[in-house]
A and B are shown apart, each in its own frame.
Chain A
């Protein structure tokens, strides 16, 4: 009996293995494909694997991309495989880099703006300029100029415009998400009105945070998360920044950068901010934080809260600007793709206005194309909210989230992030930070 069962098991296993020889053809939808002759197979649609990043807890966005993938496939007459990338916490970039090293990365993929230089200098991306030049209607000026500077930067000549490493998927920028119930209860002036009147600056912002904080209990006036974006905005608003103008040296110890950091530190010293290092989103969503600094990607999650919420642009700092970021990421093409032309067509199709509008409708990001019609469409999303705050942020000289063409961004960020964390948690003074940070972070520029 045991022999019989072993034989049946063996035969079944062999059968399954055999069936696997033609598994893609074994699916009910396409039963005849596996047995097609080789000549027919050669004429079959070209298969391109596509992966891009989705944000955590956002399956809906992944579904939108899957739908777009099907539509683009039909439009281009090719077969696309959409692979939803992992969330931010599952190290999307680390996984992608490992796949690139192993030669198993997809043909087209999304990477954040900070990674462009690293990927280009390791020879991982295809220059799309020849394909773009041959495409009617294509122009670099269709997109925000800040990301296009980096996406067209030629590291060999040091000039922009000569090459094309990809096209921006979307852009985003910081705003302050407001708990209007808390702000009204605290008797603070409406930040949106102050912004309209041009009175929304650091002093007004701090005053509002203090008033909300004074409500007592575990209520906090302000919250931001622990990464380079939020504190970088304070440095930018003070007129400083991470790098010098040429982006080839550390600028964290400049007077303006330190002023911005000192202002941020003051929020923590005064106890009006959610402790640095804590995720500020849960307490904000729990109705315990007056103002929460984050990008457009936080909108879907926050839109589910039960209190009265809205957004306002960042307050203006001593430089007279908000110091906001222009966050962006791009679709790029794997240098080892076997179908470079189709891959370019895919990238181009994915960044068309109608496709970007479908994604933007989810509320997670802002189209990377420029133009009044694009802005008008964006303003229609969540019409009762102050969408204009995002556009104002993008219009007020934002600093583009940018790669380091003459250094290593991960190395720079590791040193800067640890030191800033020490400052904002009270372990290191701003002065000490200024004395040592560039000695350590500056080593990132050696490479």
Chain B
């Protein structure tokens, strides 16, 4: 069937008239979307940023719709693609808007609370029991029709009872009231859902595809995008959008509530503003050499006999940067090297290994807050288990060896010399299990033949590990190192819990994310906090890039 013969005079999907109507719809939609964009810009209903973002979104959709019109008129398959995309987005927007207008989201919240306690849960259980009876009946020989029917009846009763007790009848009764309450929005949104829903169905059909000259590959691509769309839309709305918004905010002095003046690079200038001054004597007061109304003393250093003082406008940023880097330098090796050793051990065929694999993974799935609170108790220098064991161990050693080792009574979380180390140990412990599983998976993909060949060549276990295992594990190692480094540079929950949000004692556990949080959510300098977030992003990006390049070089060397 040729395109011209298919585009007959009928109004069936893909017919010439249907496509003309569709093109008309896209013209009208473009106009409506442009109008919506202008209205949004001039509205006072939401914050400026939200209005601008919404207007950009509407303008993009309007452009897509206009382009769809042109391509549909030319019977170009791009018109079909654009039409499907625009209508899909409008359909979702109308559906979500309708659900919101009808109170579905708030209602679901209430329902969840109610159902967890009430009768509908029992009805749901009845449905599950019915399903179980019905499916097990199918596995009997001969198939028990009576049991299968019983299961189906129970399922039907469960589903109906579930809906009835969840309140579907009063809900249906209340729906007309919401439509005739004078508010035209539900009606408009319902019309939007139905129209775009129909157009989507119509344009998706094979007849339309053929009429628009779409080939199988185009349909396959659309299928791919359709499956990807929930994640893609979520990514755009909840990740990429806020990310770009935070970049914009970093150039303002926004406090979350009122003022949001454009300050250009001032936030970034403040972050990096340092001054270095030579001192006459090592103990010369800071106020003699720097303007203490602007700068705080960061550190003193002696270079070639000359003392210098470094002042920073935001001292806490530099302290947090140092703490974060120290944390990463300590925590990453502690969470990676033992994980590799543990994985090698768990990869053996000794009895009970499956149990231990599970055991070591448990910390990774435990809630960070719970873990941190438990460690906080264990670290207590007075009544904590760790010091208790250290004290007993030292007593035992002293009594056995006759030595006189002094109990250090380490104040794990109260001494600024140990606090960060304490968090490192706790975090490494928690990350160890996950890294172990990754290494274990990597180890199990290494062909046994390589070890057999190495054994034949006379390699001992150590040589096999360094010359076979490690090179073959390189991709896994890169992944583990990269993800653990990113985790370490973003450490927040652990320090927040153990220092009660202060980064103390002193500033010893103040990390970059905690400093960011304090600025953004305690002092409400959202603009400055956004700038700090982007600086952190650059730091993490630099580390990740370094690791990738290093790995690439190492891989190249190995390949050669």
Residues of chain A touching chain B, judged by Cβ–Cβ distance below 8 Å, are: 8, 11-12, 15-28, 31-32, 34-35, 37-38, 89, 91, 93-94, 97-98, 100-101, 118, 122-124, 218, 220, 226-227, 274-279, 282-283, 286, 288, 408, 410-411, 414, 417-419, 421-422, 425, 427, 435-436, 439-440, 443
Given A23-B111, A24-B110: A8 touches B257 (CB 8 Å cut-off): no
What residue in chain A is nearest B507 (Cβ atoms)? A418
Measured between alpha carbons, how far is A38 from B180 in the docked complex, in Å? 10
What residue in chain A is nearest B159 (Cβ atoms)? A12
Is the beta-carbon distance between B413 and A277 smaller than 8 angstroms? yes
Given A122-B257, A277-B411, A425-B414: A26 touches B380 (CB 8 Å cut-off): no
Is the beta-carbon distance between B292 and A122 smaller than 8 angstroms? no
Shortest distance from the beta carbon of B407 to any chain A beta carbon, whole Å: 11
Shortest distance from the beta carbon of B111 to any chain A beta carbon, whole Å: 5
Shortest distance from the beta carbon of B155 to any chain A beta carbon, whole Å: 7
Tell me which residues across on chain A come within 8 A of B506, comparing CB atoms: 418-419, 421-422, 425, 427
Shortest distance from the beta carbon of B292 to any chain A beta carbon, whole Å: 4
Measured between alpha carbons, how far is A256 from B503 in the docked complex, in Å? 28
Query: Which of A23, A24, A89, A275 is in CB contact (< 8 Å) with B414?
Result: A275
Is the beta-carbon distance between B297 and A436 smaller than 8 angstroms? yes
Given A16-B163, A91-B501, A226-B504: A410 touches B168 (CB 8 Å cut-off): no
Give B105-130 interface residues, CB cut-off 8 Å to A: 105-111, 114, 118-119
Q: Say yes or no for B546: interface residue by CB 8 A criterion.
A: no
Is the beta-carbon distance between B168 and A439 smaller than 8 angstroms? no
Q: Say yes or no for B349: interface residue by CB 8 A criterion.
A: no
Is the beta-carbon distance between B504 and A277 smaller than 8 angstroms? yes
Is the beta-carbon distance between B167 and A22 smaller than 8 angstroms? yes
In the A-B complex, the 8 residue pairs with the closest CB atoms: A26-B167, A277-B414, A20-B107, A23-B107, A101-B256, A22-B171, A23-B110, A34-B174
Is the beta-carbon distance between A26 and B114 smaller than 8 angstroms? yes
Q: Say yes or no for B48: interface residue by CB 8 A criterion.
A: no
Is the beta-carbon distance between B173 and A35 smaller than 8 angstroms? yes
Measured between alpha carbons, how far is A23 from B501 in the docked complex, in Å? 38
Tell me which residues across on chain A come within 8 A of B167, comparing CB atoms: 19, 22-23, 25-27, 31, 34
Given A15-B166, A23-B114, A97-B256: A425 touches B383 (CB 8 Å cut-off): no
Please tell me which stretch of B15-23, B240-248, B330-338, B515-523 contacts chain A, meaning at least 4 of its Cβ atoms lie within 8 angstroms of it: B515-523
Is the beta-carbon distance between A25 and B170 smaller than 8 angstroms? yes
Is the beta-carbon distance between A31 and B170 smaller than 8 angstroms? yes
Tell me which residues across on chain A come within 8 A of B502, comparing CB atoms: 226, 414, 417-418
Is the beta-carbon distance between B382 and A282 smaller than 8 angstroms? yes
Shortest distance from the beta carbon of B164 to any chain A beta carbon, whole Å: 9
What residue in chain A is nearest B517 (Cβ atoms)? A94
Tell me which residues across on chain B come within 8 A of A94, comparing CB atoms: 517, 521-522
Shortest distance from the beta carbon of A226 to any chain B beta carbon, whole Å: 7
The residue in A410, A414, A422 that gathers the most chain B C-beta atoms within 10 A of its C-beta is: A414
Measured between alpha carbons, how far is A123 from B500 in the docked complex, in Å? 28
Tell me which residues across on chain B come within 8 A of A411, comparing CB atoms: 523
Q: Say yes or no for B473: interface residue by CB 8 A criterion.
A: no
Given A18-B172, A19-B166, A35-B177: A278 touches B414 (CB 8 Å cut-off): yes
Measured between alpha carbons, how far is A91 from B492 in the docked complex, in Å? 14
Measured between alpha carbons, how far is A83 from B171 in the docked complex, in Å? 26
Tell me which residues across on chain A come within 8 A of B523, comparing CB atoms: 408, 410-411, 414
Given A21-B178, A28-B118: A15 touches B163 (CB 8 Å cut-off): yes
Query: Which of B166, B414, B518 is in CB contact (< 8 Å) with A410?
Result: B518
Shortest distance from the beta carbon of A291 to any chain B beta carbon, whole Å: 15
Q: Say yes or no for B5: interface residue by CB 8 A criterion.
A: no
Tell me which residues across on chain B come within 8 A of A418, comparing CB atoms: 502-504, 506-507, 510
Is the beta-carbon distance between B257 and A100 smaller than 8 angstroms? yes
Shortest distance from the beta carbon of A315 to any chain B beta carbon, whole Å: 23
Is the beta-carbon distance between A22 and B500 smaller than 8 angstroms? no
Q: Beta-carbon contacts of B372-400 to A below 8 Å, as 1s and 0s?
A: 00001100111100000000000000000
Is the beta-carbon distance between B415 and A414 smaller than 8 angstroms? no
Measured between alpha carbons, how far is A245 from B258 in the docked complex, in Å? 30
Measured between alpha carbons, how far is A445 from B219 in the docked complex, in Å? 64
Given A21-B178, A97-B256: A425 touches B500 (CB 8 Å cut-off): no
Give B286-326 interface residues, CB cut-off 8 Å to A: 286-287, 292-293, 296-297, 315-316
Is the beta-carbon distance between A274 and B177 smaller than 8 angstroms? no
Other than the given A275-B381, A278-B413, 18 more pairs (CB < 8 A) read A19-B171, A21-B107, A22-B103, A22-B170, A24-B107, A25-B170, A27-B114, A35-B170, A122-B255, A218-B383, A227-B500, A278-B414, A283-B380, A286-B382, A286-B383, A414-B518, A417-B504, A436-B286
Measured between alpha carbons, how far is A440 from B312 in the docked complex, in Å? 11
Is the beta-carbon distance between A34 and B524 smaller than 8 angstroms? no
Shortest distance from the beta carbon of B503 to any chain A beta carbon, whole Å: 8
Measured between alpha carbons, how far is A388 from B177 in the docked complex, in Å? 60
Give B149-172 interface residues, CB cut-off 8 Å to A: 155, 159, 162-163, 166-168, 170-172
Measured between alpha carbons, how far is A37 from B174 in the docked complex, in Å? 8
Q: Beta-carbon contacts of B33-45 to A below 8 Å, as 1s and 0s?
A: 0000000000000
Q: Say yes or no for B486: interface residue by CB 8 A criterion.
A: no
Q: Say yes or no for B27: interface residue by CB 8 A criterion.
A: no
Measured between alpha carbons, how far is A283 from B177 in the docked complex, in Å? 62
Tell me which residues across on chain A come within 8 A of B503, comparing CB atoms: 418
Q: Say yes or no for B181: interface residue by CB 8 A criterion.
A: yes
Shortest distance from the beta carbon of B201 to any chain A beta carbon, whole Å: 15
Is the beta-carbon distance between B163 and A89 smaller than 8 angstroms? no
The residue in B166, B292, B296 that gathers the most chain A C-beta atoms within 10 A of its C-beta is: B166
Measured between alpha carbons, how far is A94 from B167 in the docked complex, in Å? 37
Query: Which of B119, B286, B316, B381 is in CB contact (< 8 Å) with A414?
Result: B316
Shortest distance from the beta carbon of B96 to any chain A beta carbon, whole Å: 12
Q: Say yes or no for B416: interface residue by CB 8 A criterion.
A: yes
Is the beta-carbon distance between A425 and B171 smaller than 8 angstroms? no
Shortest distance from the beta carbon of B492 to any chain A beta carbon, whole Å: 12
The residue in B109, B155, B416 that gathers the most chain A C-beta atoms within 10 A of its C-beta is: B416
Shortest distance from the beta carbon of A72 to any chain B beta carbon, whole Å: 22
Q: Say yes or no for B64: interface residue by CB 8 A criterion.
A: no
Is the beta-carbon distance between B383 and A34 smaller than 8 angstroms? no
Measured between alpha carbons, how far is A278 from B411 in the docked complex, in Å? 8
Query: Which of A17, A35, A123, A278 is in CB contact (< 8 Å) with B108?
Result: A17
Tell me which residues across on chain B come within 8 A of A15, comparing CB atoms: 159, 162-163, 166, 168
Query: Which of B159, B174, B181, B376 is in CB contact (< 8 Å) with A35?
Result: B174
Measured between alpha carbons, how far is A122 from B159 in the docked complex, in Å? 51
Tell me which residues across on chain A come within 8 A of B102, comparing CB atoms: 21
Query: Which of A101, A282, A436 is in CB contact (< 8 Å) with B377?
Result: A282
Tell me which residues across on chain B come within 8 A of A440, comparing CB atoms: 296, 315
Tell me which residues across on chain B come within 8 A of A286, comparing CB atoms: 382-383
Tell me which residues across on chain B come within 8 A of A425, comparing CB atoms: 411, 414-416, 505-506
Q: Beta-carbon contacts of B60-91 to A below 8 Å, as 1s and 0s?
A: 00000000000000000000000000000000
What residue in chain B is nearest A274 (Cβ atoms)? B382
Give B243-270 interface residues, CB cut-off 8 Å to A: 255-258
Shortest distance from the beta carbon of B86 to any chain A beta carbon, whole Å: 25
A-B contact pairs, 6 of them (CB 8 A): A27-B167, A277-B414, A278-B380, A278-B381, A288-B382, A418-B502
Tell me which residues across on chain B come within 8 A of A17, comparing CB atoms: 99, 104, 108
Measured between alpha carbons, how far is A364 from B57 in the docked complex, in Å? 52
The residue in A18, A101, A274, A419 that gathers the most chain B C-beta atoms within 10 A of its C-beta is: A18
Measured between alpha carbons, how far is A420 from B521 in the docked complex, in Å? 23
Tell me which residues across on chain B come within 8 A of A277, comparing CB atoms: 411, 413-415, 419, 504-505
Is the beta-carbon distance between B382 and A283 smaller than 8 angstroms? yes
The residue in B173, B256, B382 that gathers the most chain A C-beta atoms within 10 A of its C-beta is: B382
Measured between alpha carbons, how far is A34 from B257 in the docked complex, in Å? 36
Q: Say yes or no for B475: interface residue by CB 8 A criterion.
A: no
Given A277-B414, A425-B506: A18 touches B170 (CB 8 Å cut-off): no
Tell me which residues across on chain A come within 8 A of B381, comparing CB atoms: 275, 278
Measured between alpha carbons, how far is A35 from B168 in the docked complex, in Å? 11
Q: Say yes or no for B175: interface residue by CB 8 A criterion.
A: yes
Is the beta-carbon distance between B256 and A275 smaller than 8 angstroms? no
